[in-house]
Amino acid sequence: MRPIRITVAYDGTDFHGWQVQPGLRTIQSEIERVLGEIEGTPVQVIASGRTDAGVHALAQIAAFMLSNPIPVENLRRAMNRLLPRDIRILDASIAPENFHPRYDAVAKTYEYRILRSEICQPFDRRYVYHHPYPLDEARMIELAPLIEGAHDFTAFAASDDRDEPGHTKVRTIYCSRLARQADRLIYRVRGTGFLKHMVRNIVGVLLEIGKGNLARQDLEARLRPHSQIPPGPTAPARGLFLITVEY
């Protein structure tokens, strides 16, 4: 058996997220289906993390064990031939013996894209959150770095079936920046790890700040340990991309 590491890009629009779910189309189930055909027996694929329904990835990292001796470059080609067009294997390589895509990751970067122009082109609609309404963008840009540092992100996390009693929701964010690029607001965040809906809830709060519904103290209150403020609002999934996973 060989440990194989792959880099995966996908358009998450028509999927119910990464994780296998009975009767639903997911990224993991499609990749495992294809690998099962190549291997002739079921293959379990582990990713660096689970993306939600509708979220995209430019470079998701996943790994699995394979006994088939096919060269990794030929494996990449075979997988792409069998996979639907909204999933592509960008790279395949032999992984270190004990490599784990999730536990070995030291940082991840996500990007959220908000289209500010009046009209959203049909070709963009699956990959941006279209918000042409008034926003105090300068205030949003100013306050986005408050997310940086080690914080308890309870007020930004949706309930998760992986949660355990006493499980910490403290995460360290290395960079949290919002910038205007042409007709878009781009929010980029890099950190040790992310909770369910965490990035989308951060963007949702920044949007409420831009609308004038929340202020600096409201953001700071959500970052206090064991905040009782319920998470949300949650920005739509279609604007979110997993950009990189670092090891």
Read off the tokens for 19: 């994780």
Same domain, 111 and 75: no
Give the model confidence (pLDDT) of 112-122 as tens digits. Answer: 999 999 999 99
| Residues 141 and 188 placed together within one structural domain of the fold | yes
Task: Label each residue of 167-215 as H, E or C.
Answer: CCCEEEEEEEEEEEECCEEEEEEEECCCCCCHHHHHHHHHHHHHHCCCC
CATH of the domain at 118: 3.30.70.660
Question: 119: domain range?
Answer: 107-246
Average pLDDT over residues 71-94: 98
pLDDT of residue 69: 96
Q: How confident is the model at residue 166 (pLDDT cuts 50, 70, 90)?
A: low
State residue 108's pLDDT score: 98
The answer to whether 192 touches 119, Cβ cutoff 8 Å, is no
pLDDT-based confidence at 167, cuts 50/70/90?
confident
Task: Clarify whether residues 76 and 133 are in a common domain.
Answer: no
Is-contact 52 237, C-beta < 8 A? Answer: yes
Catalytic residue numbers? 52
Task: Name the pTM for this structure.
Answer: 0.94
- Whether the predicted pLDDT of 103 surpasses 90: yes
Cα(214)–Cα(235) distance, rounded to whole angstroms? 15
Q: What is the pLDDT of residue 226?
A: 87
Distance separating alpha carbons of residues 176 and 237, to the nearest angstrom: 18
The domain that contains 55 carries what CATH number?
3.30.70.580
Contact 80, 89 (CB under 8 A): yes
Nearest-CA neighbor of 235 among 185, 192, 183, 191? 185
